[in-house]
Amino acid sequence: MIRGLLAPVTALVLSVLACGDAVAQKGPGAPILSGPLAKLDIKPAQVDTAKGTSKGTLTVAMHFALDPGWLDPLEHSYAITQQMYDYLVHDTMIKPMPYGYVTYGLAEHVELAADFRRAAFRLRPGLKFHDGHALTTADVKWTYENYKGAYAKLFHDKLEHIQIVDDRTIVFHFKEPFIDFMDIYNGGVSGIGWIVPRHYYEKAGRDGFKAKPIGAGPYRLVSQQAGVQMTFEAVDDYWRRTPATKTIVVKGIRDPATRMAGLQTGELDLAFGMTGKVLPRLMADPNLRYDPNFTGPWWLMFPGYNEPGSPFRDKRVRQAVSLAINRPFLVKQETQGIGKPWGNWISSENRDALQGAEAPVPEYNVEKAKQLMAQAGVPDGFEVDYLPFPPYFDMGERIITDLRAIGIRGKLQSLEGPAFRGKINQGRKGVPGNRTIVQNIDPRAGGSKNNIAVYAVCDSPSSFVCEPQIEALWKKHQASLDLAERERLIKSIQKIMLDEHYFVPIYWNPFVHGIGPRVLPEGKAVSKYWDTLNAPYPWPWEVWEVKADR
Amino acid sequence: MATVLERAPSLGGLSRVARRSYRLVADVPAIPLLIVAALTFVAIFAPVLAPHGKLTPVKPTPEQCQAKFGTPSCPYVDNLPPFWFKGGSIDTPLGTDFLGRDVLSRLMYGARISLVVALTGTLFAGAIGTLLGVLAGYMGKWWDQIIMRVTDAWLTLPSLVFAILLSSVRGPGVWNVVLILALVFWSRYSRAVRGEVLALRERDFVKLAEINGIPTRTIIFRHLMPNVMNSVMVLFSLQVGVAVIIEASLSFLGVGVPPPEPSWGLMMAQERESLMDGKWWLAVFPGIGITMLVLSANMLGDWLRVRLDPQLRNR
Amino acid sequence: MRRYILVRALYSVVTLWLLVTIIFGLVRLTGDPVEMKAEAGADAAYVARLKHDWGLDQSLPRQYLSFLGNLLQGDFGHSFEKSLPVRDIYFERLPNSLKLGFAAFVISIVLGVPLGMLSALKVNSWWDSVGKGIALFGLSMPGFFVGLVLIIVFGIQLGWLPVLGKGRSAFVGSDPSTWVLFWFKDWSHLIMPAFALGWYFSGAMLRITRSGMLDVLGSDYIKLVRLKGVPERMVVAKHAFKNSMIPVLTFAGLNLLIIVNFAVVIEVIFNWPGVGQLLYDGLSNRDFPMVQGVVLMSGLMIVVLNFAIDVLYGYVDPRIRLSR
């Protein structure tokens, strides 16, 4: 289920206006900055002032142990998982919502100078933290300055100074054009936009804050057992609306069979990561529902491919690998037919991602693959190590079986999650040898350029690809301030990567979520909770509705 | 003097063991022995006995493909039930797994892994532990203290630590499990053996050997080791069962034998979710295999212990 | 006697120190936790900050010394993965493990001891064979297999029992009136994991009871009591039973600790929030302080128990304390 093309954040129109009720996109209020502004496409927050009552308990099972550190935005990790907790306990200036990839949150009005050197925000009136303290621009400034998490260095290096105009208005001044600022300040990408209460953090300290956090979000943490369970309760006077569910319990359950059992007995209402062998059971159970929840595409990488002696140096071998994978059958076996064979390694929910005719799904042709192998001088194949993405070892086995048909004999190296990440995050250093195939997936947000910045350029520590053609294009991209040109360059880079088969895309992964019978609305309509783009989890949480407790 | 030594009961310790072994064998419980023998036979001759490969999917018939996918040809047919169910085939008598591989063949190869790993691992553990126990018991003083303190500390280390350690240092593999078993279990032996040796040390034949100036190394290897063999053998046979279960548990947690190798524990782990889906044979057969192997090993060990009881009682 | 106690205490301390050092070294051989936590694309500054926060930018000897120093003050450090102090997390979970361990222990005794005694009393009879068979069967089935079957039969098919474990962070610091309630609340969540765990050890208990009883029944003391004309029932109940319990209790005590500390697989299957899961999570994530803390605590418990047993034996049996 493709959710349609994402409305791009860019289209250049200079707006010079003064007054209120013009373009509803920009939100209410007088302008803050002088001079020409960049066009931003930020959707309005859907505020519902009717005072409802929250009811019921929603029990959610995450697929790994919970980390209290996720409750602290100041040390925000690069991992997208933390955002689940951000959406529960905290709130941010702009964030992805079902209404748009960038939607107003705490901010009601945002401006970005056309030269990208200034960014201005105006907060809504009457914002409060859970303990009743007002949320002001002093907190926004403090959060920015004390931020130590993902992209911290970038934010601090670029910043010149922060200007507090008044309690609700703040302007960031940058040393040089910070064209990506709005992209990364967005709550969907880094943690710096999630506002932390300065008075409380300074009092409680790091540990105290993680044990009992306070934020401006729709839920507050009432209790936690570190690693096991966190219990959240609705904040009735959250500015956007009263949360529909009173209590949300999040459990960390590593084991898919256990999560499945929990769904079946009714102890769980929502379970993440119901993939592989539990999926048929989930689909067959009439009491349960599921959402496909497409995250990102799988792809194969070839560490050390450009070294002499590597069998993957020859483009024909890489192409043969692509031709040998029976994607339709794989999708049927591994994901019960839900997954979609895909032609790109970047999800189409990202801006500027190639898709459709521009990135066609590679064909399945074992004969042609064998011919290519023969032409490349390895008709009998060779042996490789295969590093699957944990815990999808079954999928790794399936792909190895496919490759065996053209002579590539893979030996599965099944590492556990952190060990695998430790290896590939280090790029070339972490995966020695040049006879390895790595299977990876990375649904990161922030536009296609983010994905390229990590995996396709020479100076990224996690990259296995280093090609002069791509470097040249990338340099131009980084130097350019013209959004249309940037888009062109990003697409060209993707085209090269795919045409040369540096990466072999497989299928778009459904990270299926299982839903219990107590979640409302009944039937298929429940899928509306997954409408937020680039979100592997169904946030926001304040809209979730369950039947009242028995 | 020579005659006294000749008559000393411990000389020719090895032939004594041989004679004793013969007496033992005469009384062995038949069924466990048969089971162990059968499993060993299967393990050794798996490549010949197994009807299909352990890694490659079974080539399906057009009827099977038609029944499952609606087309006359397909790469493989997964999750076929055992032949006595509808849809099963005698060609894959115990069914196929999620990748279309023959369960019976994988069970046979799996016997190999379970037996080799358990036996080798326990053997290594026993060898190391016995040697250290003898040293500690006989040499006394500093040897004793250091070995025993390390043993005590080591006993509290969980095997999981070694599992992860070896998996990250050497990469996952079958031999890792052997190393883990050796590294973790030697401490069980050294304690018991040390106790035995402490008692043996006071016996006449040892004292005589010492008086006669026989070198320590000879005393240890020719006199002491053969005499502790009884308890070591009993311990060994009981530990084999434990080893099989530990290997299964580690593979279950994902840190033992890595896929796609067919270890019984791994097969159970991988097909746990299928178990919930009604495809019970995929996880139950390996479970039965493990249970039978461990049961037989334990019964043999028990019988050994009873048989050797009078010797143990001497303490 | 006092000298004996002192010597044993010294041994315990040395053992503990060895354990601490061994685990410190072993755990650092498992890999670099910083690499594993930092996601792809993390910049060098982020990685360096993590390293510094976790104290891994110091030299190895310094890390060791500060680790020891903190230990002596009762500080196990901060968990890398769970961000809070290890001590707090551990003691929050320990009651759950104790609850599970104790329940499994009780089940293993209830199942094992009476059957073992019966086996011993009717030695070599049909009862004995049944008893031995049950024991062996219990020792032969991996705990996770039993757990699996239980979940499917009682949890899903019959729907009688819940399948997810439920512990509570009762005990530490909270209202003392909950301390007793804690053991009995949510007992339906406890039954299956406790049974799966206790099943294995009931086999061992059966065996030990049986051999202990046999030893005692064959002893001269019992022969004397029989000669005196005491009815068989009294022989068993008053004399044999008590004396045979000594090895049983020793073994049982050790078993309890093993159950409490090493029930990882059961905890994973049933999602029981105990210390076994802490160890597993910690090892997977190379969470050095957590692994060190858990291993140390379990080692401490075992060493202290051994010490207590040694002292008890020394007190009871003069030969032991005089011979060393």
**Secondary structure of B106-145 as H, E, C letters:** HHHHHHHHHHHHHHHHHHHHHHHHHHHHHHHHHHCHHHHH
Any CB–CB contact under 8 A between A394 and chain B?
A: yes
Highest mean pLDDT among A279-288, B179-188, B210-219, C81-90: A279-288
Instruction: Grade residue B6 by pLDDT with cuts at 50, 70 and 90.
Output: very low
Helix, coil or strand: residue B111: helix
pLDDT surpasses 60 at C168:
no
Residue range B81-108: average pLDDT? 88
C134 touches chain A (CB under 8 A): no
Of residues B277 and B131, more confidently modeled: B131
Helix axes C288-316, B141-155, angle to 10 degrees: 120
pLDDT, residue B310, reads 57
Q: How confident is the model at residue C176 (pLDDT cuts 50, 70, 90)?
A: low
pLDDT of B275 higher than 90: no
pTM: 0.84
Looking at residue C317, its pLDDT comes to 63
Residues 6+ apart with CB under 8 A from B298: B237, B238, B241, C136, C139, C140
Distance of CA C92 to the CA centre of its chain: 17
Average pLDDT in the B260-279 region? 80
pLDDT tens-digit profile of B51-83?
888 888 888 888 888 888 888 888 888 888 888
- What's the pLDDT at A354? 92
User: What's the pLDDT score for residue C178?
Assistant: 62
Q: Which helix (H) or strand (E) holds A165?
A: strand A159-166
pLDDT at A248: 95
List pLDDT tens digits, range C109-145: 888 888 888 877 777 777 777 777 777 777 777 777 7
Report, as an integer, the average pLDDT of C88-108.
86
Q: How far is CA B187 from the centre of its chain?
A: 16
- d(C-alpha C192, C-alpha C150), whole Å: 7
DSSP 8-class letter at C235: I
Say if the Cβ atoms of A401 and B270 lie within 8 Å.
no
Mean pLDDT of B152-161: 81
Q: How high is the pLDDT of residue A10? A: 44
Interface with chain A: mutation pick from B250, B273, B275, B276, highest number of A CBs within 10 Å:
B273
Counted across chains B and C, CB pairs separated by less than 8 A come out at 113
For residue C199, the distance in angstroms to the closest alpha carbon of chain B comes to 14
**Residue of B258, B270, B273 with shortest CB distance to A278:** B273
pLDDT in the model for residue A300: 96
Mutate to test the interface with A, among B69, B165, B277, B282 (most CBs of A within 10 A): B277
Q: Inter-chain contact B277–A277, Cβ cutoff 8 Å?
A: yes
On the question of pLDDT at C192 being above 80, the answer is yes
Q: Which residues of chain A fall short of a pLDDT of 70?
A: 1-29, 550
Whether pLDDT at C48 is above 70: yes
What is the pLDDT, as a whole number, of residue C151? 79
pLDDT at A360: 93
* A277–B259 C-beta distance less than 8 A: no
Are C98 and C260 in contact by the 8 Å Cβ rule? The answer is yes
Q: Are B165 and B180 in contact (CB under 8 A)?
A: no
Partners of A278 on chain B (C-beta within 8 Å) are 273, 276-277
User: In which band, very low, low, confident or very high, does the pLDDT at B236 lie, cut at 50, 70 and 90?
Assistant: confident
C210 in reach of chain B (CB within 8 A):
no
Q: Which of A59, A63, A67 is most worth mutating to test chain C (most C CB atoms within 10 A of its CB)?
A: A67
Amino acid identity, residue A430? G
pLDDT tens, position by position, C247-303? 677 677 767 767 766 688 888 888 888 888 888 888 888 889 999 999 898 888 888
Better-scored residue on pLDDT, C305 or A7: C305
At B193-214, the pLDDT tens digits run 887 787 777 777 778 888 888 8
- Given this model, what pLDDT does residue C262 score? 67
Quick check: C173 contacting A, CB < 8 Å?
no
Q: pLDDT of C199-240, one tens digit each?
A: 877 877 887 777 777 777 777 777 787 788 777 777 776 667
Closest CA to C105 of C322, C316, C252: C252
For residues B44, B49, B53, B59, the Cα torsion angle rounded to the nearest 10 degrees is -170
Share of chain C above pLDDT 70, in %: 84
Q: Between the CA of residue C115 and those of B256, B300, C235, C251, what are the distances in Å?
A: 35, 21, 18, 17
In chain B, the percentage of residues whose pLDDT exceeds 70 is 89
